[in-house]
Chains A and B, each alone.
Chain A
Amino acid sequence: MKKKLLATILSVALTASLLAGCGSSASTSGADNAAGTDVATEEETGEDAAAATEEGEVAEGEAAPDAVTTVGDPNGTHMEMWSFVELHNTFYASMLEKWNAENPDRTIEITFTTYPYADMHTKLLTSLNAGTGAPDFCDVEVGQFPNVVAGVDTWLYPLDEALTPYAGDLVQSRLDVYAGADGKHYGAPTHVGATVMYYNAELLESYGIDYTTIKTWDDYTAAGEKLKEASNGEVCLTSVDTAGVDWLWLAMSEYGEDWTGGFEGPANVQLESVKNMLTMQQGWLDSDIAMVSPDGHVDLEAGFQNILDGNIASFPKALWYMSRFLNYMPEEAGKWALAPCPIFEEGQPRSVGIGGTGTVVTNQSSDPQLAADFIAYAKCSEEGAKGIWETLGFDVCNSAMWTDESITHAPNNEYVKFFRTNPYDILNEVKDEIGKISVVAISPTINEQMCNVTLNDVLENKMDVDEALQAAQDVISLEE
């Protein structure tokens, strides 16, 4: 009997060790890889977010990738909210307190979860596809929006009704960025992302250049020549991007063109605006007025360093880039000024909206109407706009706030203090000139082709602009 018992115990032990063996062998051979990938999805995204989201304060999302907090009235309707920027969640939580105070009969309790950028978007898409597991609200980065809005009515709840009370004050072009193919609006915008010119006024003054006289790209080029001579070629007027399309968006907006062709399509990148901008940039590079942005664009470590080292004196970027100065280049305080962008011809619009985060309400929500009402209040009401400007430093979509000098010129606001010009003065100046480039299903393909191939060919390899655009068009047409 003892023998049998021993045999049984031994065989159990053997089986167990075999099982354990299975597990460990899998993790050593097949791999290292599998384990590695897991780590990647968790960590790379912080980096990714910093590079890709084009929003302020991403650092917070990076520091605490899985922050979960529950805020609000425990007796109210319970909801879930996901974001990839913790500061966004903090802001929504503060708005939730106000909502609950103002609407005692419609109180809400929200559990906020912050995920890393790529993780969150993948998770959201998967849960929308599966029809279960999605949160009530979710922040969606504008570049990812086409994927999410592809399921229009079946996945998301339209916000048009909820936005009605604020519609008069909202910048329509920003709302339209988050429209679906059916014309309804599915995302509550965070900011306008108006593109302006950032000038290192101190540096330019030291070489006798007055940035306020620059109105057209010809003026800009002339200033570049002057700067080159005055500084013995040490300072470039700007750096052009091989991994970003901001310059091209600006050009398209100035000419009133749009390479996506909107929802109807077809996409066409062989536009006058794009050709003119690229040809002009090639000219700048040939005459050493401009340099190619180190590592591809100015919103990266090397780009910040390039600015800090005083190698470039200006660049166009959306207003949310202000937060980069505060976070990564505090030494530059008081040196920089903002101004409307130069134009090709008199009378063209001088700005374009770039970047952003739209908050969607999913159809899986327990009470989509309540959710929509809350998010519209939190992001689009005057109260919400004030909060966004004060906590996140963005150019808000509710234009009623733009003229309220007690907020926009508040002397202790760190953004107001940092720059020589007031961001809202510039915003009011270009108010009716902020163009919109559609973000539709083909957008990621165009972006990718431009940033990976075309811009490198044109700016680094000196390829003929028409030839490069034809090649890009061929690839993009294949995807439609």
Chain B
Amino acid sequence: MKIRKFLYSQRVAPYVFVLPFILSFCFFWIYPLCSTIVMSFQDILPTRTEWVGLKNYKKLLIDTTFHQAVINSFQYMLLTILLLIPFPMAFAVMMDSRLVKAKGVWKAFLYLPALTSVVISGTLFRLMFSEYSTGQLNVITGILGLGTFKWLKVKATGLFALVMVCCWRWTGVNMLYFLSGLKSIDGALYESAEIDGASAIQKFRFITIPLLKPTTIYVLTISIYAGLAMFMESYMLWAGPDSPNNIGLTIVGYLYKRGITKNQLGYGSAVGLVLLAIALVINVVQLILSGTFKKEEK
């Protein structure tokens, strides 16, 4: 009888339903987070662990390689945001328009890269960007009369390669987000705008963009985090966390290098926490500026 009462209790039910999530959240997120915080104040040596206070953080302040990694991640994040919001939005609008034929095919084409393994695509991109004269891009620039480039050895072209891999991979995914946003816009709005004599550009500017704002904010938020936390693309493009003059080193790449390759888990933890702090601050500021929190208050 008690069990039945428990099962039918309205007060308990919500907790029962969220329990699986809470448990997995605690086990896989809260616990590692706490132990990362603890570890960032330790030197974890083979066979023993020492408390070192703020040593790891002090070292981060003077570690120029880490600074380089932060700068790289920022530049990458900014570039991906600049490219991965307008273009997917434009593609989504095109996919939603009546003028485009064979939409399914286009959508599939754009989404396909997201399904391929970064390991394989990264390796292929690495070979394409090879500095040797037979590398695919050097063949193309050769035909165009531009000569050959050392793509993955120079900062500008290295960043270009990274952003290209990223756009190639994520354009389709972001397009789908925008597409689902577009589907929720009431068609009647466009009709009435048309009756009022609005042009296509005006409709896009005054109906589509404002009504897509929630989607845009969502895409922006995940893009900021994904940009800062990027690892795989750079790891695959340079076949490891090392790149010439560290042009491809990202924060997570540095974390991997310190924590895993060099077995300095304490220092690696400090790097990870700095990444968390940076991503949190940027996203909170961004969400406040875009008014996301205000809406909830209403």
Residues of A within 8 A of B (CB): 11, 14-15, 18-19, 22, 26, 29, 32-33, 36-37, 39-40, 43-44, 47-48, 51-52, 122, 125, 128-129, 147, 150-151, 154-155, 242-243, 294-296, 301-302, 305-306, 444-445, 448, 451-453, 456-457, 460, 475, 478
What's the least CB distance linking B71 to chain A, in Å? 15
* Interface: B73 (CB within 8 A): no
Give chain B residues whose Cβ lies under 8 Å from the Cβ of A456: 153, 244-245
A19 contact set on B, CB distance < 8 A: 20
Cβ B263 vs Cβ A147 within 8 A: yes
How far, in Å, is A110 (CB) from chain B's closest CB? 26
Given A18-B17, A456-B153: A51 touches B246 (CB 8 Å cut-off)? no
Tell me if A242 and B244 are in contact (CB < 8 A). Answer: yes
Which of B60-68, B185-193, B274-282, B289-297 lies at the binding interface?
A: B60-68
Task: Kindly list chain A residues whose C-beta atoms are within 8 Å of the C-beta of B150.
Answer: 460
Which residues of chain A have C-beta atoms less than 8 A from B260's C-beta? 122
Majority secondary structure of chain A interface residues (helix, strand, loop or mixed): helix
Verify B117–A150 contact, CB threshold 8 A: no
Q: How long is the Cα–Cα vector from A365 to B242 in the complex, in angstroms?
A: 35
- The residue in chain B whose Cβ has the minimal distance to the Cβ of A25 is B21
Report the nearest A residue to B20, measured CB to CB: A19
Residue of A nearest to B119 (CB): A43
Q: Chain A residue with minimal CB distance to B236?
A: A44
Q: Which residue of A lies closest to B153 (CB)?
A: A460
A-B residue pairs in contact (CB < 8 Å), sample of 28: A15-B17, A15-B20, A18-B20, A19-B20, A32-B114, A33-B226, A36-B118, A36-B119, A37-B231, A39-B117, A39-B118, A40-B119, A44-B235, A44-B239, A47-B123, A129-B46, A147-B46, A147-B263, A150-B263, A151-B46, A151-B47, A243-B242, A302-B131, A302-B132, A452-B245, A452-B246, A460-B150, A460-B153
- The answer to whether A22 and B21 touch (CB under 8 A), given A36-B118, A475-B64, is yes
In whole Å, how far is A292's beta carbon from the nearest beta carbon of chain B? 8
* Contact, CB under 8 Å: B132 / A295: yes
Once the chains bind, are B242 and A154 in contact (CB under 8 Å)?
no
Task: Decide: B239 and A47 in contact? CB cutoff 8 A.
Answer: yes
Partner of A452, one of B119, B239, B242: B242
Render B114-135 as a binary contact track against A, CB cut-off 8 A, 1 for contact. Answer: 1001111001000100111011
Please determine whether A44 and B119 come into contact, CB atoms closer than 8 angstroms.
yes
Chain B contact residues, CB within 8 Å of chain A = 7, 16-17, 20-21, 24, 45-47, 59, 62-65, 114, 117-120, 123, 127, 130-132, 134-135, 150, 152-153, 222, 226, 229, 231-232, 235-236, 239-240, 242-246, 257, 260-263
Interface residues of chain B: helix, strand, loop or mixed (majority): helix
- Taking the closest CB of chain B, its distance from the CB of A85, in whole angstroms, is 18
Are the CB atoms of B117 and A154 closer together than 8 Å? no
With a CB–CB cut-off of 8 A, which chain A residues contact B134?
A: 305
Question: Once bound together, how far apart are the Cα atoms of A242 and B114, in whole Å?
Answer: 34
Q: Are A295 and B130 touching (Cβ within 8 A)?
A: yes
Which of B59, B117, B243 is in CB contact (< 8 Å) with A43? B117
**Closest A residue, CB atoms, query B256:** A37
Given A47-B123, A125-B263, A305-B134 in contact, is the A452-B243 Cβ separation under 8 Å? yes
Q: When the two chains form their complex, are residues B62 and A33 in contact, meaning their CB atoms are under 8 A apart?
A: no
A469 to B42, CA, bound (A): 31
Q: Which residues in A have their C-beta under 8 angstroms from that of B244?
A: 242-243, 296, 452, 456, 460
Which residue of A is nearest B59, CB measured? Answer: A478
Q: Of A29, A36, A147, which contacts B117 at CB under 8 A?
A: A36
**Measured between C-beta atoms, what is the minimum distance from B137 to chain A in Å?**
13
Query: With the chains together, A453 CA to B130 CA distance in Å?
Result: 19
Min C-beta distance of A23 to chain B, whole Å: 9
**Could you tell me if B119 and A453 are in contact, using CB atoms closer than 8 angstroms?**
no
CB proximity of A152 to chain B, nearest CB, Å: 9
Closest residue to B229 on the A side, CB-wise? A33
Q: Which residue of A lies closest to B130 (CB)?
A: A302
Cβ B232 vs Cβ A40 within 8 A:
yes
B62 touches A478 (CB 8 A): yes
* Residue in B closest to A150 when the chains form the complex, CB atoms: B46
Extra contacts, 18 of them, besides A51-B240, A478-B59 (Cβ < 8 A), are A33-B226, A37-B232, A39-B118, A40-B236, A44-B235, A129-B47, A147-B46, A150-B45, A154-B47, A243-B244, A295-B131, A296-B244, A301-B127, A444-B262, A451-B242, A452-B242, A453-B245, A475-B64
B232 nearest in chain A by CB position: A36
Distance of B26 from chain A, by nearest CB (Å): 13
Bound-state CA distance A29–B225 (Å) is: 12
What are the residues of chain B within 8 A of A475 when measuring CB–CB?
64-65
**Chain B contacts for A154, CB-based, 8 A:** 46-47
**Chain B nearest CB, measured from A306 CB (Å):** 7
Chain B residues, Cβ within 8 Å of A444: 261-262
B53 to chain A, nearest CB (A): 18
Nearest-CB residue, chain B, relative to A125: B263
Taking CB atoms, residues of chain A closer than 8 Å to B123 are 47
In the bound complex, CA of A122 to CA of B114 (Å)? 28
- Quote the shortest CB–CB distance from B168 to chain A (angstroms): 14
By Cβ-Cβ distance, the 3 closest A-B pairs, closest first, are A151-B46, A302-B132, A150-B46
* Best-surrounded residue of B20, B62, B120, B257 (most CB of chain A within 10 A): B20
Cα separation A171 to B119 with both chains bound (whole Å): 40
B45: which A residues are within 8 A, CB to CB? 150
Instruction: Using CB atoms, name the residue of chain A closest to B63.
Output: A478
Task: Identify which of B59, B65, B131, B239 contacts A294 (C-beta below 8 A).
Answer: B131
In Å, the complex CA distance between A478 and B24 comes to 40
Could you say which of A44, A52, A150 has the most chain B C-beta atoms within 10 Å of its C-beta?
Answer: A44
Q: Which residues of the other chain, A, contact B232 by a CB distance below 8 angstroms? A: 33, 36-37, 40
Cα(A125)–Cα(B44), bound, Å: 13
* Nearest Cβ on chain B to A58's Cβ, whole angstroms: 14
Q: Are B239 and A48 in contact (CB under 8 A)?
A: yes
A14 contact set on B, CB distance < 8 A:
17
Complex formed: what's the CA distance from A242 to B240 in Å? Answer: 15
Smallest Cβ-Cβ distance to B24: which chain A residue? A22
Nearest to B29 among chain A residues (CB) is A30
